Amino acid sequence: MAKGPKKLDWLRGYASIYMVFLYAPVILLPIFAFNNSTVIAFPLKGFTTEWFSSLMDNSALHDALGNSMIVAVSTAMISTLLGAFAARAGVRYRFPAKRGIMGLILLPLVLPEIIIAVSLLVLLMRLGMSLSLWTVIAGHVLVCVPFSIAVLNSAFAGLDQSLEEASFDLGETSWGTFKRVTFPLILPGVISSLLITFTISLDEFIIAFFLTGTDVTLPVYIWSQLRFPAKLPGVMALGTLLLLLSITLLIVAEFFRRRSAQRRGLDASTTEGLI
Amino acid sequence: MKLNSEGRKGLFLISPTFAYALLLLAAPLILVIMFSFWTQDYLDLDTTPTLANYKEAWTDPLYRELMFRSLRISIMVTLVTVISAFPVAYYVSFRVKERKALWLFLITAPFWTSYLLRVFLWKVILGYNGVFNSALLWAGIIDEPLQFILYNVNAVVITLAHAWAPFAILPIFVALEKIDRSLLEAAEDLGDGPVRRFFRVTLPLAIPGVMAATLIVLIPTVGDFITPKLVGGTEGLMISNMIQVQFGKANNAPLGAALAVSSMFIVGGLSLLIFLGSRRVGRVAGE
């Protein structure tokens, strides 16, 4: 469109400035992680990797990391499994109260996390259960299932039903059909869902803050460190490593999501499925 | 009701996920509502229903102030986020031709980094010796550091507008993508200039996306307590900070529950108003 180059420049300029705004905090993270000063402020002093090596012998951090791994891996597996049931049912079948049931399952998307956290806390208090990593997992699964459904919906929607029917006609059982036909076809979607839910759980703070017992997760540990100025450079280094991990996982997830889109011969550049 | 085999299969398949949501989402939410009618008596819970918590939540000047402030801040955040996000969504949808997926990835990527650290880094940027002030001082624009940008409402608005940016951009982008481009050509052929065309065709058709973005940003921001605590100072504290205190140090879960239910009620009502209002606007503009 030759709609006057001036307007095009204005919009593009705005979008560029907006991207700077979006990335401003993210770019500062590695800068301060390598800065040779205990104060998180400009001007920068010098280059150091001291903060990264200080992470190596911090046992509280290692415990928190271990806890977060347990929580994130369990959350990813449980929510992907529950998400798969719901996505399959939603895509394939019509059943009574479908909108209501799906609405309840997807509700955490629009519910403030503090409400989810507080209501689960109240339930646990009433039941007299003590807080542990399992209570954190229970809360994380609630918020992760809707994301898993979003990713898996497109995987199941692209599944050609006639392939499954062919498998039945050739004498396969339901389980055999699932194992040899359905599952391989939706595998990229499953991997993508596992990675996305893992990443959400790893970073989730509010629910973990309310539902964690004596074993803290990584974000809760970071929160406790933010009060001590001396610990901040170490937190910056830790944040940098987490940033690298998240970006890597997301690129892998995006790769699998596109592969699953390509299997259905769709344009891989559409946003369908991702958020 | 008679169930056919398809209905049965569907219900059977969704039952594990549905059961999970019933047990760990619906039941706890109902319990919170019940809690809000009970009273805390030191370590014991008095389960005689009473409206005392609601009375306190709605009449105590402190809680009322926090409630209204939360609402005001959330509305400000929503306006700033949606209005600043719209041109970006428009740019990606209408001007970017080949690299849309890359742009969307770049827009969502910062959202996947630790939320806590992103908020904390805004404190670093906006602080007295922060990045922003240092840059302005260095450039000679100001003589001494600006103090009105950290530990107040402005800081909360900037930080939350940043945190929710992708959630505003994506729904608007999706709505803009759905617009049939031939409608725009038709408007042009019928003599509409770019500005008229934008307000008479593009914007009304983008209303569903704008509405989704508004609700997606508005509802969770009322519930945030990290941002107010880290960058808000005392005048930037919000209702969620008080809910957290009631469930924690103050050990008055029923009052906390009443505050939580009240704020959800207000946000729910506001969301409904926005939803109905935008449908009206969409209809009127579409005629």
Identify the DSSP state of B144.
S
Report the DSSP beta bridge partners of residue B24. Answer: none
In the stretch 39-68 of chain B, residues with CB closer than 8 A to chain A read none
Of residues A188, A176, A190, the one with CA closest to residue A79: A190
Per-residue model confidence as pLDDT tens digits over A140-156: 999 999 999 988 988 88
Give the SS3 label for residue B41.
strand
Domain contains B69: yes
User: How far is it, in rounded angstroms, from Cα B26 to Cα B254?
Assistant: 18
Of residues B194, B214, B276, B210, the one with CA closest to residue B284: B276
Per-residue model confidence as pLDDT tens digits over B156-186: 999 999 999 998 999 999 999 988 888 888 8
Closest residue in B to A40 (Cα–Cα): B124
Per-residue model confidence as pLDDT tens digits over A46-58: 888 888 888 888 8
Domain contains B208: yes
Give the SS3 label for residue B96.
coil
What's the pLDDT at A270?
A: 47
If you search the block for the tokens 């062919």, which residue do you land on?
A: A166
Chain A residues inside the 8 Å CB shell of B28: 119-120, 122-123
Chain A residues inside the 8 Å CB shell of B117: 25, 29, 222, 235, 239, 242
Per-residue model confidence as pLDDT tens digits over B249-269: 888 889 999 999 998 888 888
Domain around B245: 53-286
**Could you tell me the pLDDT band of residue A268, with boundaries at 50, 70 and 90?**
very low
Alpha carbon distances (Å) from B157 to A180, B68, B77, B127, B148: 52, 15, 5, 15, 13
Number of CB atoms found within 10 A of residue A222's CB: 23
CB A151 within 8 A of CB A273: yes
Identify the DSSP state of A107.
G
Give percent of chain B with pLDDT exceeding 90.
26
Give the SS3 label for residue A67.
helix
Domain contains B115: yes
Backbone angles phi, psi at B39, to 5 degrees: -130, 150
Per-residue model confidence as pLDDT tens digits over B194-224: 888 888 888 888 988 999 899 889 988 888 8
Chain A residues inside the 8 Å CB shell of B155: none
Residues in chain B: 287
Of residues A52, A213, A210, the one with CA closest to residue A131: A213
Domain contains B196: yes
Domain contains B128: yes
Domain contains B111: yes
Backbone angles phi, psi at B75, to 5 degrees: -65, -40
Going from the N-terminus, what domains does chain A have, and what CATH number goes with each?
Answer: 31-38+45-158+185-263 (1.10.3720.10)
What is the maximum alpha-carbon separation in chain A?
72
Higher pLDDT, B149 or B21: B21
Give the SS3 label for residue A111.
coil
Domain contains B11: no
CB B202 within 8 A of CB B185: no
What's the pLDDT at B93?
A: 92
Closest residue in B to A2 (Cα–Cα): B95
Give the SS3 label for residue A112.
coil
Nearest to B110 among A23, A108, A206 (CB): A23
**Could you tell me the pLDDT band of residue A274, with boundaries at 50, 70 and 90?**
very low
Whether the ω angle into residue A43 lies within 30 degrees of 0, i.e. cis, is yes
User: How far is it, in rounded angstroms, from Cα B268 to Cα B274?
Assistant: 10
Counted domains in chain B: 1
User: How far is it, in rounded angstroms, from Cα B123 to Cα B278?
Assistant: 35
User: How far is it, in rounded angstroms, from Cα B268 to Cα A110?
Assistant: 10
Report the CATH number at residue B151. Answer: 1.10.3720.10
Judged by a CB distance cut-off of 8 A, whether residue A246 touches chain B is: yes
